Structure 1
Amino acid sequence: MATKESVLSKLPQELKLTYLKEITQDFSDEQKIGTGSFGTVYKGTLEDGDLIAVKKLQANSPLGRDKDFKTKVRDVMALKHENIVKMIGYCREEQTKSVERSGRYVHEETVETLLCYEYSPKGSLANYIYDGHDIIDWDIRFKIIKAICQGLLFLHTLSVPIIHMDLKPENLLMDERMVPKIADFGLARLFGEKATHIMTQNVMGSYGYIAPEYRYSGQVSLQADIYSLGILIMEITTGEKNISNDKDLPGMQYIENVRQIWTEEHIVSKYPKLDGTRFHEVKTCIKIGVECVKLQRKERPAINEIVEWLNGTR
């Protein structure tokens, strides 16, 4: 029987829609394993029984409508890092469908867009970090935070940096060793070397994780990822989900609660068995999270500073 590596290595980058339908049982509900930004993810079974994840993008997906789709996807496929999900292939095919219009059936052209990734057996980080879920201890939480930051450091320090623009627990997939991998690059932007930020009128993202300058002014920058990372670090550290009813300033109440409540006394009550080193780690992560969500984007730390901070070298 062929090994997993040999099967994957034989897959062409550009896959046929008929093949993806076959390995997902025609995108059946039984094969559905989750939903992400602008699409549904299905489990695909290869000929040797091994699995891949197939994301079927919605018609309104920004990536699906991107005129540079293939270039952008191949840029993501070229990424190789332990904390970045490995992209295996893609599909973009025009389909003709019969649609009823005013009592008559007409032919309508549609474009089906799909992305294929390595399969993550443990699902998303959201399954583990919140109180009441499958609780993980502090050592694992700290390792996850450091690993996510290493993945973001990789993206932000490429020769042409990539801004993810949708960092959240649901877009971090866990492998069998509970190592997180940044996934879902549907909103990602390639960033020119000399640019400090770019502007867009098409603001998209996940409520509660969007940087304020992006939400209100359409500013896309590396610091927008840092803001999302700050919320993420706070959620992982506290076990508390960012739920905000404030539609004008999403996340502000959550941030203020963390800032005020997570004192040394509260840390001790939450993590009563921590030794001095681990207690310092929790304090450091809370402080980093608060620094990352400053309203002025230029006041937020860069990802290399955050990594140094976590490693105790800053």
Structure 2
Amino acid sequence: MAAGGKTIESNPSLPKELSFDYLKKITKNFSSELEIGKSPFGSLYKGIREDGGAITVKKLAENSPLSADVIFEKEVQNFMKDEHENIIKVVGYCREGRRKTVKSNRKYIVTDITETLLCYEYLPMGSLHDNLVDESSSNIDWGTRFNIVKGICRGIQYLHNLEPKPIIHLDLNPQNIWLDDNMVPKIANFEFARLFGKEKTHMNTKSDVGSVGYMAPEYLHEGEISAQSDIYSLGLMILEIATREKNHCGSDERHARKFVDEVSRDWRNKDVIMFEYPDLDVEGLNQVKTCIDVGLQCVEIDQKKRPSIEKVVKMLGLPSN
């Protein structure tokens, strides 16, 4: 389908440059009825193409915490050629200058702006967060939950081992894990991601950007970031998925120690796991126990005690990449 002089299907391995008018059309002028999510960086819309197919369109907010240039570089340029089953696929983008009328000091003026939009594959099941907090989430069987855990781990392993520079996501949480119609998880939203060279394993930043309740303590309090920052966030998600309990965390307790302590107290006993999962066989019960153990190792306050993603993958019985 033509858009901006290019066809969406012409080269499936690279994101396509799409026109603003085309994206405006397939989202019905970015209508509320097609809005499927919001973030500090913009709004997400379902875009319905003329052939009936769908894509997800992220329209970046003008007052986004990060500039459109930064987000564009992180989300598009870093993933233009690389694909992985557990990383969201960028299928298109728009960087287009427009003239817009705005109100300033009680007067209307015409100003030049650059619209920046990112387009992803459309995933009908929404985010992991949507499925975890939904009333029907308890109906998600253990096999599906375990596959979600394994898929997230594969995605993180891929990011942490990218050549020539690994990528640290820095905002791993259930809202940034999207699920396809087969409940395959895909890591999304790389606004805060950082590139690390082989010679660099730690970095300090003055800003503690990320999601409340999923930020590693050393990142939250010291601004120190490393691959272990992602491991901490991963551990919290594994615990949520395995226990079917939500990490409810307020602004005064941003790294979820209360939730971690409750899991450590209540879920280390095999009798508790058998009570919570009465229909599982021995293999399934051992998988739950392994996930609890792995998750608790990942959320150690001392980052040196957290396992690497390679060790996490090994403990879960996954083949190494």
Q: TM-score, normalised by structure 2?
A: 0.89
Alignment partner of 1:180 is 2:213: no
* 8 Å Cα contact 1:23/1:46 also seen in 2: yes
Report the counterpart of residue 260 of structure 2 in structure 1: 255
Report the counterpart of residue 296 of structure 2 in structure 1: 290
Query: 1:1-314 to 2 correspondence within 5 Å?
Result: 7-9=8-10, 13-66=16-69, 69-70=72-73, 73-130=76-133, 132-134=135-137, 135-159=139-163, 160-245=165-250, 247-262=252-267, 263-311=269-317
* 8 Å Cα contact 1:167/1:229 also seen in 2: yes
| Structure 1: gaps of 5 or more residues | none
Distance 1:35 1:8, change over 3 A: farther
Distance 2:142 2:283 in 1: 12
* 8 Å Cα contact 1:288/1:306 also seen in 2: yes
Distance 1:292 1:190 in 2: 21
Distance 1:71 1:278 in 2: 38
Distance 1:274 1:110 in 2: 57
Q: TM-score, normalised by structure 1?
A: 0.91
* 8 Å Cα contact 1:94/1:112 also seen in 2: yes
Distance 1:192 1:289, change over 3 A: same
User: Which letter does structure 2 place at the counterpart of 1:24?
Assistant: T
Could you say what secondary structure the match of 2:262 adopts?
A: helix
Alpha-carbon deviation of 1:249?
Answer: 4.6
CA RMSD of aligned residues (A): 2.3
Distance 1:67 1:279 in 2: 44
Could you say what secondary structure the match of 2:135 adopts?
A: coil
Could you say what secondary structure the match of 2:43 adopts?
A: strand
Deviations 1:113-145 (A, max 9, x none): 211000001111123234733320111111110
Distance 2:204 2:214 in 1: 18
* 8 Å Cα contact 2:167/2:193 also seen in 1: yes
| Structure 2: gaps of 5 or more residues | none
Could you say what secondary structure the match of 1:311 adopts?
A: coil
Distance 1:212 1:290, change over 3 A: same
Distance 1:180 1:115, change over 3 A: same
Distance 1:88 1:104 in 2: 39
Distance 1:33 1:68 in 2: 20
Distance 2:308 2:245 in 1: 25
Alpha-carbon deviation of 1:110?
Answer: 3.1
Distance 1:303 1:51, change over 3 A: same
Aligned-residue identity in percent: 47
Distance 1:272 1:306, change over 3 A: same
* 8 Å Cα contact 1:62/1:187 also seen in 2: no
Distance 1:277 1:68, change over 3 A: closer
Count of residue pairs brought into register by the alignment: 311
Distance 1:192 1:68, change over 3 A: farther
Alpha-carbon deviation of 1:296?
Answer: 1.5
